[in-house]
Amino acid sequence: MTVEKMLKDAVGLSVVGSVQRSVELSIELSVEDSVEDSVWLSVWDSVKDSVWRPVHAQILEYAYEC
């Protein structure tokens, strides 16, 4: 095996490896983001339903009484 062939193989492998890794990372990040978004939105919706709406209703009641 010549030095030139070894260098070509090493460069080829590193390019393939980095492309593969960046594709893996982007897929991983997009999946992570969508999971994070859906979890966050569902948590926010439940907080809004259980906390914000009753408090908001009480604030409105109080405002009408004044």
Per-residue model confidence (pLDDT) at position 64: 85
Per-residue model confidence (pLDDT) at position 51: 84
Per-residue model confidence (pLDDT) at position 8: 85
Please tell me the pTM assigned to this model.
0.43
Is residue 66 over pLDDT 80?
no
In degrees, rounded to 5, the angle at the alpha carbon of residue 53 between the alpha carbons of residues 51 and 55 is: 65
Q: State the Cα torsion 14-9-11-16 to the nearest 10°.
A: -40
Mean pLDDT of 38-64: 87
